[in-house]
Amino acid sequence: MIEGLLGRKIGMTQVFGPTGEVIPVTVLEVGPCVVTQIRTRDRDGYEAVQIGFGEARPKSLTKPQKGHLAGAGQLLRYLREFKAESFDDLSVGQVLTADLFEAGDLVDVTGTSKGRGFQGVMKRHHFRGGPRTHGQSDRARAPGSIGAGTDPGHVFKGTRMAGRMGNRRITTQNLVVVEILSDKNVVLVRGSVPGAKNGLVMIRRAVKSK
């Protein structure tokens, strides 16, 4: 059995629990995914299952890519690899759906966070900023000292400074699957998921679940 699937983030909403409490959920369209390749230790040096998601335009794929997807029978936009407990029940061209998960499962969801562009240290690293008085009219949102002059005489690597914020791969762990809508390939998970609407996500069984 494969450990995860590909999907896209549709948005957020809320549902009511069995006791009437309001549960904030993220709506994910999970699958259908198609198995495009099964990697073996003898041929590739490791074992994994490559799956594809999303319809691709023929013009966006090269001839080698189309040849690689010929066995799957579909032109797919996204390809990712997942581990699997067993490869006996998997074959190239097989379609995987959201039925892989059940309500109550714990999952890890990986996505690309929204890009915020170039930001200062107060927004990017939550710095407090400088004093707003005593003549410091231009130091209110400045980072302050970034290192000593004579010794060591340079700025250390990793010093928190202004720069590009967001647009990073982020994984949110241990999200609870609230409901599965099998006919629509929709999974509702409790809480928020990184990324913008229609962004690609990877949903996998939680690695830290008890």
Per-residue pLDDT of 158-188, as tens digits, reads: 999 999 999 999 999 999 999 999 889 999 9
Distance CA 56, CA 96 (A): 18
Residue bearing tokens 């896209």? 8
- The residue assigned the tokens 């996500």 is 201
Query: Residue 209 above 80 pLDDT?
Result: no
In the predicted model, is pLDDT for residue 82 greater than 70?
A: yes
pLDDT digits (tens, 9 = 90+) for 121-130: 999 999 999 8
Helical segments of the chain, H only: 41-44, 63-68, 121-125
pTM for this model (two decimals): 0.85
Mean pLDDT of the chain: 91
For the chain, what percent of residues have pLDDT higher than 70? 100
How many residues are there in the chain?
210
CA pair distance 8, 27, nearest whole angstrom:
9
According to the model, what pLDDT value does residue 1 have?
80
Beta bridge partners of 6: 202
Residue 210: per-residue pLDDT: 63
Partner residues linked to 169 by β-bridges: 112
108's CB contacts (< 8 A; 6+ apart) are: 171, 172, 173, 174, 175, 203, 204, 205, 206, 207
| Six token digits for residue 128 | 């407090």
Look up residue 142 and give its two tokens: 């400045």
Q: Which CATH superfamily is domain 4-114+169-205 in?
A: Translation factors (2.40.30.10)
What pLDDT, on a 0 to 100 scale, did the predictor assign at position 86? 81
- pLDDT for 208 beyond 80: yes
Nearest C-alpha neighbor of 103 from the set 175, 186, 179, 8:
179
Considering the chain, tell me which residue range(s) the CATH 2.40.30.10 domain(s) occupy: 4-114+169-205
